Structures are given as structure tokens and as C-alpha cells.
Amino acid sequence: MKNVVISGMGAMSSLGLNIDDFWKNCLDGNSVCDEIPDSWHQFTDFSSGIWSPLPPIDYQEHGFNRVELAQYDKVTLLAMAATKQALQAANIELAETENNKRQFKLTNLDSNRVGVIIGTGIGGVSTLLENHSHLVLNKLEGILIGRGLANPIANYTKPRRLNPFTVSMTMPNAVAAAVGIKYSINGINNTISQACASGTSAIGAAYKAIQSGEIDIAICGGAEYMRDEYGAVYKSFDIARTLAIPKNDIQTANCPFDKDHSGFLFSEGGAGILVLESQESALARGAHIVAKIIGASESFDAHSMMSLAPEGLQIKRMLNNLLSQTNLTSRDINYVNAHGTGTKLNDSIESTLIKEFFPHAPYVNSTKSILGHTIGASGAFEAIASALSLQHQLLHPNLNLNNPMTDINLVGRKSLAAPLNYALSQSFAFGGHNCGIILEKY
């Protein structure tokens, strides 16, 4: 069996627009939490009212021209930018194609043996909502003007026209497809859409494709972008009572595994991309190997669209399958990067399962406690954090942990040095999807 390694990573996130900034802010616990845009309050009320916005991004500085900016939703732009970082980190040389200076090819690699597998929960939803608002607002404006009435719609932002690329921008598969087009990659090109487990599932699928010999190299991970002009996506989560509700200081509202948790910190979005390949090919190219992936497994609850099965039987089955793949026992796992959303039911079930399945008390933390929840990208960011933890033998804090809800071995509010050989990164999603991968120190 091939040894599958991580040879490159890229990140576009609220914690930073590259891996170094992302990891430094993870270790320092520098969460980005702010009040939602004032303009959203014109349309509805919110129970939460906080989110984790991305920093300002000049996409032209990331190499995109005006045509690309018009043709791609931001979820796709984020994934393409993170992919470029990951390819460069993997020491994969890029060359401009002869006919298109904005399209590249991977030098000295067989493009038929390279694949793209990227997860996203809702794809180009911001484009869909933007163009929907164009139709609705222009129609209403015409009615008001025709009746000689005041026109309050003039005060609101509305697109100048319907974007002719709306269909391709909205398609969830546009994320992986655009990466394949940008870098002239002809191998498998797949999209995984399993809500909050999409990123982890995509990494697992890439690992298995390399193991089976279907491809030699995989670009994988997750991407999401959830901002819209009127806060409609945010409101959808808010009305479902899944978001963190501040009591006093908004900076302490996001607190997975704490008794005071009330929900997750909604993130504007982001993209985490990894390059996976065989150890042999990475070494031959002189790539710097971050960590190994040695197992991937999934299961399905068949219980509820929005909550975990309380007994966690299918999660246990997924974990047992992982261990059997790797010939490890539960005691070999030193670190669990938990799903750790901050929602009451999920945290309760997950912490109970961790305590039962890992009685030796491995270290546990939640990357979402710092980053917030990026839905389809979350599993990719958590895999990146797990790989960096193994590489540096450091664990980032579990932010805002004052009153732990259980006695599992949660990392406290400061980063921690620890001897780490094996890490589990796990994700659970709306619909009932359970995904996990095991990483090994290289």
C-alpha cells in the first residue's frame, strides 16, 4: 500500500490568507469575532448577531483578472487562491499555457494522473441570492414607479444586471471544476457536498483515490462563502437556533465544550486546500512533507436532517473502521481534533463518545472555537490544523473554555506542547454524515 502524505497546504480564512498566518492565529487563539453588518438589521431581527468575517481580499492581487472575477462566485475564487498556495508549497512548478496566460499547467506531471476533489456545502449561494434580488427588486421598483409611489428600493443595493454566468457560478461543482480548468488538470474531478463534513469527506476520497492507484496526486479540501447582501444565509442558521448568542462580551460567545455554549460562530467563509500524494513522488520532487494520512472512513446515521443520533452508533462504527484500516487501537490516538461546534446537543454527544471510545484521554480541541464554523470548509481547516499539530508537536487552545461540560482531556485556553504521533480529525454534518481521517506524524 502506498504511503499517502500531505505535501502542500493553502488557506484563505478569517484567521489569515495563508497557512503561516492561519496557524499563528490558531496557536495564539486570535479569533475574529465581530457584529454582523448593520445593513442586515434593516430586513429582519437576529438572535445571535455575531460572525467571523474574512479580512479584505484583493482578488486581483491573488492573480485573478476582471473576466475571472465576473465569472466565478467568491467560493470558487477562495478555493483557487488556496490551491495556488498549496501547489507552490508542494514544490509543484506552474507554467503558463500557450493559448491562455491565465491558465496554467503543472510542469513535469502527467495531468491525467492528477485529480481534484473539493467539498462545499452550498456552493455559489451568494451568486444565486444576488441575482434573485436583481429580479425581485427591479420588478418591485418598476411597480412603485408605475404607480407614482415613493421608491424606498432605491436605497438598497441591487445588481446592475442579471449575471450571464449565474448558472455556472451557482453550481456546487464549479469550485472543483474551476480549479481543474485553471491548472489544466485532466484526472478525476469530483465535488463532495455533505454539509459540515464536506471537507473531511473530500480529503478521505482523495486519500482513497491515491491508495487505489486511480491518481498519483490529489488537490483536495473544502471551500465555502456565505455572505449575501441581506443576511439571508445567516438568518437561516439563526432561525434554526444553531448560532452562538452573546451574553455580555461577544468575544466569549463561541465556546465549544463549555457549559455556557449556545451555538457556533458563523463564518463568512474560506477555503482550505491540501495536496496529497505518495511519499515516493513527494520526496522525488523535493517537497516538504507535513504529515501522513493513513486512514479515512465514513458512516451515515439515517436519523435526522439536523441532529446527531443520540447513541452515536454510526460514529462508533466509523471510528472502528478507521482503526481497523490503520491497525491501530484507540489508545494509539494522541489527539482528537473534534467537530466541536458549540451547539448543545452535538457537543454533548461528541464529548460522551470521545470519553467512551478513548478512555486513555487523548488531547482534544476544537478549531471552530477559534476559526468559527466554515461549514463545507471546516473539515479541511481542521485537517490542516491536525497536520500542523503533528509537525510542530503543538496544540492550539480550545478558546473560551471556562467550565468544561465533561472531563475529557480538553486543551485549555493556551496552546500546549505535547508528544503527538497520531491524530484523528472528525466531522459530523446535517443529514447524518459522519467522516473521519487519521493522520500520522512524518
- Region at 195 (left for phi over 0; alpha for psi -120 to 50; beta for the rest): left
Per-residue pLDDT tens over the stretch 12-52: 999 999 999 999 999 999 999 999 999 999 889 999 999 99
- Report whether pLDDT(149) > 90: no
Instruction: Please indicate whether residue 133 or residue 23 has the higher confidence score (pLDDT).
Output: 23
- Report whether pLDDT(98) > 90: no
pLDDT at 105: 94
Per-residue pLDDT tens over the stretch 337-394: 999 999 999 999 999 999 999 999 999 999 999 999 999 999 999 999 999 999 999 9
Q: Classify domain 4-124+171-441 at the CATH topology level.
A: Peroxisomal Thiolase; Chain A, domain 1 (3.40.47)
Q: Are the C-beta atoms of 257 and 410 separated by less than 8 Å?
A: yes
DSSP structure class, residue 403: S
pLDDT at 286: 94
DSSP structure class, residue 256: T
pLDDT at 126: 93
> Long-range contacts made by residues 299-306, C-beta under 8 angstroms, separation at least 24?
299/434, 300/432, 300/433, 300/434, 301/432, 301/433, 301/434, 302/432, 303/432, 304/432, 305/430, 305/431, 305/432, 306/240, 306/430
- Burial of 251 per CB tally in 10 Å (0-12, 13-18, 19+): middle
User: Which candidate, 381, 58, 320, places its Cα nearest to that of 198?
Assistant: 381
pLDDT at 155: 59
Tell me what the pLDDT averaged over the chain comes to. Answer: 94
pLDDT at 99: 77
What gap in Å lies between CA 45 and CA 71, rounded to an integer? 33
Per-residue pLDDT tens over the stretch 250-277: 999 999 999 999 999 999 999 999 999 9
Average pLDDT over every residue of 241-257: 96
Per-residue pLDDT tens over the stretch 217-233: 999 999 999 999 899 99
Per-residue pLDDT tens over the stretch 112-121: 999 999 999 9
Total Cβ atoms within 10 A of residue 68 = 17
152: confidence class by pLDDT, cuts 50, 70, 90: low
pLDDT at 51: 98
Per-residue pLDDT tens over the stretch 407-432: 999 999 999 999 999 999 999 999 99
What gap in Å lies between CA 116 and CA 106, rounded to an integer? 13
Q: How far from 139 is each of 43, 133, 167, CA to CA, in Å?
A: 18, 10, 21
Q: How many CA atoms lie within 13 A of 375 on its CB side?
A: 25
199: confidence class by pLDDT, cuts 50, 70, 90: very high
Q: Where are the domains of the chain?
A: 4-124+171-441
